[in-house]
Structure 1
Amino acid sequence: MAEPRPEVLIVTGASRGIGAAVAFRAARAGYAVAVNYAADAGGANSVVDGITDDGGAAVAVQADVSDPAAVARLFDAAAALGALTGVVNNAGITGNLIGPLLDVPAETIRRVLDVNVAGVLYVCQEAVRRLSTDRGGRGGSIINISSTATKAGSPGTWVHYAASKGAVDVLTVGLAAEVAAQGIRVNCVAPGSTNTGLHAAAGMPDRVERLRPSIPLGRGAEPDEVAAAVLWLLSGEAGYITGAVLPVSGGR
């Protein structure tokens, strides 16, 4: 008798940071993981190696989420691992700069919106196509990764980025209501300042430390703490939760 195929989780932008932490934690929870990346093949393959060395199942899949055809290929590759039950929409960029909106080049704004808004929409569309019980799917869960930057709008640093994440929050609420009867839950995790390479890539490696005094818990988050919230929302323990935006921010 053939063994049942594992449940599959797609994690976009999983070559490092929060995405990698989600992939590792998901594998430990028994998921087979499609580790998506746009350009960092080395990082994605390192995540896959870490998972497989620990006895899990994973595959690295290159796809730029701002390209809907590439998103479809990502889902096709994930299907080879088993039955899709969850998607984590983590891929996101700041444009690798910090400063007032006035100084953000038009091409940077376009690229941030392409990845952070259009890319999330494309992934959600494909997830619904594959998961919807109305379309022959088995249902499942979509988790979008937003940011608590949406609270104040990140003035002087990342207004463009905060605006893109505000769109993710609205998408989560609307889509959750739209597909609830199709067996799909849609939720969002909004991290606060987190110890990843995001800040260094934008030219301010000490940004989390600078913000520490304004965080009630007195420190930035670790990626695995954000990943823990994601895995909880994916789990049956959160089976009555949909349309939620969960801050993981230390109270800030």
Structure 2
Amino acid sequence: MNDLGVMIVTGGSRGIGAATARLAGAAGYAVLVNYAADAAAAAAVAEAIRAAGGRAETARGDVGSEADVLALFEAADRMGRLAALVNNAGVVDQPSRVADMSLARLERMFRINTIGSVLCAREAVRRMSTTRGGRGGAIVNLSSAAAKLGAPDQYVDYAAAKGAIDAFTVGLAKEVAAEGVRVCAVRPGIIETDIHASGGLPDRVAQLAPSLPMRRPGSADEVARAILWLASPEASYSTGAILDVSGARAILP
């Protein structure tokens, strides 16, 4: 199996993160599966990677906590050279109009979905940048079709947090382009994962499927394959790119 270095997958215990971690392990990365609460689910992902002949460890941590982020990257350092970071960890909340949103909700939304990704990217650049003694690497951020569509009457705050990820991706990509670090993002549409249930809409995928351009949701594996490509040397001239994996849902008129 190829030795591609270490990949950190935040929020790697479920959904798109778990699919990405499994594919990364099969591709030859040593995978650090980050999780916030579900240790058993993260352990199952890591065990599946090891059972297939790969290397994987788990690390608990809330990406919205700087102390947890620092500990996460120290755990990655113990595994070897950091080659890739997938900023996948994210949250939604109950559907709400902006007029009814609390400060606590807004702070949580941006702390985890935006600030957490920036903190993780900061630590990755410190290790990857050739001007800091690194050997280069790739960062793939998770955006959302909501960043383009706005998610009115449900998740405008989530859409705004992901819109910030789009801007951050482009800015950081330009900032470190000459330092061997590529920064891209994937913008998923309606994907069959349990994030919808965590936002209070367990039937959201089934309800929306008939109205989607392809008449079906995407799968976590379909998004994960795009992430793996952007992280890989095959995407060596792609940086600042934001790839829609939305079945045409995020295409604006």
- Tell me, yes or no, if the aligned pair for 2:59 and 2:72 is still in contact at 8 Å: yes
Structure 1 stretches of 4+ moved >3 Å? none
Aligned to 2:192: 195
1:69-148 mapped onto 2 (5 Å cutoff): 69-95=67-93, 97-148=94-145
SS at match of 1:10: strand
Task: String of CA shifts for 1:207-240, please: whole Å, max 9, x gaps.
Answer: 1122223321111010000000000111121111
Q: Choose the corresponding residue for 2:30, options 29, 32, 48.
A: 32
- Report the Cα distance in structure 1 between the residues aligned to 2:179 and 2:163, rounded to whole angstroms: 25
Task: String of CA shifts for 1:80-139, please: whole Å, max 9, x gaps.
Answer: 2221100000001013x1122222222111111110111011011101101000000010
Aligned to 1:243: 240
Deviation at 1:50, TM superposition (A): 1.1
**Percent identity, aligned pairs only?**
52
SS at match of 2:79: coil
Deviation at 1:6, TM superposition (A): 5.2
Q: Choose the corresponding residue for 1:213, options 210, 227, 236.
A: 210
SS at match of 2:63: coil
Q: Choose the corresponding residue for 2:148, options 139, 142, 151.
A: 151
Q: Which moved more, 1:40-49 or 1:224-233?
A: 40-49
Task: String of CA shifts for 1:21-42, please: whole Å, max 9, x gaps.
Answer: 0000000101010000111111
Alpha-carbon spacing, 1:246–1:5, altered in 2? closer, same or farther (3 Å): closer
TM-score when normalising by structure 1: 0.95
- Report the Cα distance in structure 1 between the residues aligned to 2:244 and 2:30, rounded to whole angstroms: 26
Deviation at 1:146, TM superposition (A): 0.4
Aligned to 1:52: 50
The residue type equivalent to 2:178 in the other structure is: A
Alpha-carbon spacing, 1:219–1:5, altered in 2? closer, same or farther (3 Å): closer
- Report the Cα distance in structure 1 between the residues aligned to 2:111 and 2:28, rounded to whole angstroms: 32
> What is the alpha-carbon root mean square deviation over aligned residues?
1.2
Deviation at 1:5, TM superposition (A): 6.4
TM-score when normalising by structure 2: 0.95
The residue type equivalent to 2:183 in the other structure is: V
Aligned length: 248
Alpha-carbon spacing, 1:65–1:133, altered in 2? closer, same or farther (3 Å): same
- Report the Cα distance in structure 2 between the residues aligned to 1:5 and 1:22, rounded to whole angstroms: 17
Q: Choose the corresponding residue for 1:233, options 230, 233, 239.
A: 230
- Tell me, yes or no, if the aligned pair for 2:34 and 2:61 is still in contact at 8 Å: yes
SS at match of 1:247: strand
Aligned to 1:9: 7
- Report the Cα distance in structure 2 between the residues aligned to 1:224 and 1:39, rounded to whole angstroms: 22
